[in-house]
Amino acid sequence: MILREFLKSKINGACITDKRLKYLGSIGIDKNIIDEAGILPGERVQVLNYNNGSRIETYIIEEEKGSKKVILYGPAARCGEVGDELCILSYCFVSEDSLGENTLRVIQLSGKNDLK
């Protein structure tokens, strides 16, 4: 069976609200936002920073529902500053038999991490 990797979810316009270097590493995101995007805690994501051009891979930590938090933890904290705008991507593997069945979820956030 051949599997192909496709973009599954995209959170665009996320704004870093905090960063904490002394942590094991990851990105924390408000539960409302990850639920809307269809991303689960622990899921691998790619984080693109519009302000400095960095692209990192890490995993999701669920932040409190309704908190609007987007927090860079551990080494990821070196890849952005509070206020930087991010694009967060998750991917999935799709078998050739299922091509065309996967649907991309795109979530657009305002500057204060409000769902649009």
Residues 68 and 45: their CA atoms lie apart, in Å, by 18
Q: Which listed residue (26, 90, 95, 98) is catalytic?
A: 26
59 is catalytic: yes
Give, as one character, the DSSP assignment of residue 35: H
Q: Of 23, 50, 54, 59, which one is the catalytic site residue?
A: 59
How far is residue 75's CA from residue 3's CA, in Å, rounded to a whole number? 31
Alpha-carbon span 7 to 16, nearest angstrom: 22
Residues acting as catalytic residues: 26, 59
